[in-house]
Amino acid sequence: MALADRDAAAVADRRTFAIISHPDAGKTTLTEKLLYFGGAIHLAGEVKARGQNRRARSDWMKIEQQRGISVTSSVMTFERDGITFNLLDTPGHEDFSEDTYRTLTAVDSAVMVIDAAKGIEPQTRKLFEVCRIRNVPIITFVNKVDREGKEPFALLDEIADVLALDVAPMSWPVGMGGTFKGIYDLRRNRLFQRAPDATGAYEGGKANLSGLDDPRLEELVTPEIAAHVRDEAELAMAGYAAFDAAAYRHGDLTPVYFGSALKDFGVEQLIDALAEFAPPPREQPATPRVVEPGDPAVSGFIFKVQANMNPQHRDRVAFMRLCSGRFRRGMKLTQVQTGKTIAVHSPIFFFAQSRELADEAFPGDIIGIPNHGALRVGDTLTEGEQIRFTGLPSFAPEILRRVKLGDPTKTKQLRNALNDLAEEGVTQVFRPMIGSNWIVGVVGQLQLEVLISRIGAEYNVDAGFEPSPWETARWIAADDEAKLKAFIEEKRSAIAEDRDGAPVFMAKDAWELNYISQRHADIRFTATKERH
Residues tagged in the binding site annotation for GTP: 21-28, 89-93, 143-146
**Closer residue to ligand GDP (CB): 55 or 321:** 55
| Residue list 361-420, contact with ligand GDP (CB under 6 A) | none
Counting contacts by CB under 6 A, is residue 26 touching ligand GDP? Answer: yes
Counting contacts by CB under 6 A, is residue 143 touching ligand GDP? Answer: yes
Considering the complex, what minimum distance in angstroms separates the CB of residue 9 from ligand GDP?
Answer: 34
**Closer residue to ligand GDP (CB): 27 or 326:** 27
- Which of 28, 334, 371, 468 touches ligand GDP by CB under 6 A? 28
Separation CA 69–CA 427 (nearest Å): 18
**Closer residue to ligand GDP (CB): 145 or 320:** 145
Separation CA 325–CA 344 (nearest Å): 15
Counting contacts by CB under 6 A, is residue 23 touching ligand GDP? Answer: yes
Separation CA 121–CA 129 (nearest Å): 13
- Which of 16, 21, 124, 335 touches ligand GDP by CB under 6 A? 21
- Which of 134, 147, 187, 483 touches ligand GDP by CB under 6 A? 147
Q: How many residues does the chain have?
A: 532
Q: Lay out the site mask for ligand GDP across 207-246 (x = CB under 6 A, - = otherwise).
A: ----------------------------------------
H or E segment and range at residue 229: helix 223-239
Contact criterion met (CB below 8 Å) for 449 and 463: no
Considering the complex, what minimum distance in angstroms separates the CB of residue 93 from ligand GDP?
Answer: 9
- Region binding ligand GDP by CB under 6 A among candidate stretches 25-33, 79-87, 302-310, 363-371: 25-33
- Per DSSP (E only), the strands in 50-181 are 75-80, 83-88, 109-115, 138-143, 166-169, 171-174
What is the dihedral sign for C-alpha 365, 366, 368, 373? positive
Counting contacts by CB under 6 A, is residue 146 touching ligand GDP? Answer: yes
**Closer residue to ligand GDP (CB): 27 or 491:** 27
SS3 per-residue string spanning 303-328: EEEEECCCCCCCCEEEEEEEEECCEE
Contact criterion met (CB below 8 Å) for 205 and 199: no
Known binding-site positions = 21-28, 89-93, 143-146
DSSP-assigned states of every residue in 275-299: HHHS--S--B-EESS-B-TT-SS-E
Residues 6+ apart with CB under 8 A from 360: 326, 327, 328, 329
Residues 6+ apart with CB under 8 A from 299: 286, 291, 322, 323, 324, 325, 380, 381, 382, 383, 385, 387, 389
**Closer residue to ligand GDP (CB): 248 or 258:** 258
- Region binding ligand GDP by CB under 6 A among candidate stretches 128-136, 140-148, 463-471, 512-520: 140-148
**Closer residue to ligand GDP (CB): 67 or 250:** 67
| Residue list 243-282, contact with ligand GDP (CB under 6 A) | 260-263
Name which of 411, 406, 444, 410 is nearest 425 in CA terms: 444
Considering the complex, what minimum distance in angstroms separates the CB of residue 337 from ligand GDP?
Answer: 35
**Closer residue to ligand GDP (CB): 124 or 382:** 124
Q: Binders of ligand GDP: how many residues, by CB under 6 A?
A: 17
Considering the complex, what minimum distance in angstroms separates the CB of residue 73 from ligand GDP?
Answer: 13
Separation CA 74–CA 24 (nearest Å): 19
- Which of 24, 94, 158, 398 touches ligand GDP by CB under 6 A? 24
**Closer residue to ligand GDP (CB): 111 or 323:** 111
What is the dihedral sign for C-alpha 504, 510, 511, 517? positive
| Residue list 81-110, contact with ligand GDP (CB under 6 A) | 92
Name which of 14, 12, 32, 9 is nearest 79 in CA terms: 14
- Interacting residues with ligand GDP (CB under 6 A): 21, 23-29, 92, 143-144, 146-147, 260-263
